[in-house]
Amino acid sequence: MPDAAFPTTAMAAMPAILIAEDETAIAETVLYALRSEGFTADHVLLGGEVVPRVRAGGVDLVVLDVGLPDITGFEVCRALRAFSEVPVIFLTARDGEIDRVVGLELGADDYVVKPFSPRELVARVRARLRRRTQAEAASWQSHGAFEIDRDGKRIRYRGRALDLTRYEYGVLEVLMLRPGAVLSRTQLMDRVWADALESSDRTVDTHIKTLRAKLRALDERGDGHEDGRDDPIRTHRGLGYSLEVGNG
Ligand code: CA
């Protein structure tokens, strides 16, 4: 079976699995099993190829043979963990490798002992990806029509992702955490521009303006027409701004 490169954006929704395994017969069995279950799967023969591939992006999970010809799967996993949380499932031989996988706390998520059934491996891959999806969902908090992931510094409005600059994110986060509360420009500057050398009332107003435009753009795109929804950011003359989060 020829190795296909990961497809680009068109199939981005399919989880992409990278397999590092020097035994071609095993790799091809795994590739076939994953692809027939709808996964995107690609294969490398050497441990040294894994880190560059993960760094390049688009890898959702790594299936990693422990006994690779250049560097061990353990070393690969350690190198991955220095910069990535990508789930790793080890393929181990029976002779002593299992103890090392279990004992070393390398940050691997699971392991499968050779010989294994491809179906079992696919089930483990699926289970691991599901856990990650749940963890991802857990990091989002809802505030009416807004959702915020404070770890990932991301905000969604009416279910759609807002593409925000750092300061726009900061302003919206501060307002969202106290819905309805009126915050003065000085309060917003203190919280959002704490590390900036220079900021002014105008700085706050400028960012409120661009935020409003982005919120409005999402409303218009989503509904196909302007439906006269109120601007969720309210101006309180002489006092400051507040956010009406509305109903989710
Ligand atoms: Ca091997």
Residue ranges in the chain assigned as alpha helix (H): 24-36, 50-55, 73-81, 97-103, 118-138, 166-177, 185-192, 201-223
Q: Under 8 Å CB-to-CB from 61, ≥6 apart: which residues?
A: 15, 16, 17, 18, 86, 87, 88, 89, 125, 128, 129
Class of domain 141-243: mainly alpha
The 10s digit of each residue's pLDDT in 186-235 is 889 888 887 666 777 788 999 999 999 999 988 765 444 445 567 899 99
Lowest mean pLDDT among 154-158, 174-178, 244-248: 244-248
Residue 87: left (phi > 0), alpha (psi -120 to 50), or beta? Answer: beta
CA of 17 to the centre of ligand 1 (A): 18
What is the whole-number distance in angstroms between the Cα of residue 57 and the centre of ligand 1?
25
The predicted pLDDT at position 229 comes to: 63
Please give the pLDDT value at position 141: 86
| pLDDT attached to residue 102 | 62
Residue 137 Cα, ligand 1 centroid: separation in angstroms? 36
- Residue 243 φ/ψ, nearest 5 degrees: -120, 130
Expressed in angstroms and rounded, the spacing between residue 42 Cα and the centre of ligand 1 is 17
| Residue pLDDT, tens place only, 139-169 | 888 889 999 988 888 899 988 888 899 899 9
Q: State in Å: Cα 73 to ligand 1 middle.
A: 9
pLDDT at site 151: 80
Query: How many A from CA of 121 to the centre of ligand 1?
Result: 16
First-to-final CA distance of the chain: 48
- Say how many Å lie between the CA of residue 68 and the centre of ligand 1: 5
The helix/strand/coil state of 183 is: strand
Predicted confidence at residue 101, as pLDDT, reads: 64
Is it the case that residue 132 has pLDDT exceeding 70? yes
C-alpha 74 – ligand 1 centre gap (Å): 12
Ligand 1 centroid to residue 44 C-alpha, Å: 12
What φ, ψ does residue 90 adopt, rounded to 5°? -80, 145
Residues 6+ apart with CB under 8 A from 104: 74
pLDDT given for residue 191 in this prediction: 87
Domain boundaries, the chain: 16-138, 141-243
Residue 83: the pLDDT is 84
| CATH domain 16-138 topology | Rossmann fold (3.40.50)
Interval 7-60: pLDDT, tens? 433 334 589 999 999 999 999 999 999 999 999 999 999 999 999 999 888 899
pLDDT tier for residue 2 given thresholds of 50, 70 and 90: very low
Residue 8 C-alpha to ligand 1 middle, in angstroms? 29
How far is ligand 1, taken at its centre, from the CA of residue 233, in Å?
A: 58
Q: Is the pLDDT of residue 177 over 80?
A: yes
How many angstroms separate the alpha carbon of residue 23 from the centre of ligand 1?
A: 6
Cα(130) to centroid of ligand 1, in Å? 27
Looking at residue 11, the DSSP 8-state letter turns out to be: G
Q: Please check the confidence at residue 239 and state whether its pLDDT lies above 70.
A: yes
- Residue-wise pLDDT for 87-130, tens only, equals 999 998 876 676 666 655 666 778 888 999 999 999 999 999 98
Long-range contacts: 94-101, Cβ < 8 Å, 24+?
Answer: 97/66, 97/67, 100/66, 100/74, 101/66
Dmax (CA) for the chain in angstroms is 74
What is the pLDDT, as a whole number, of residue 204?
92
Tokens standing for 187? 């309060």
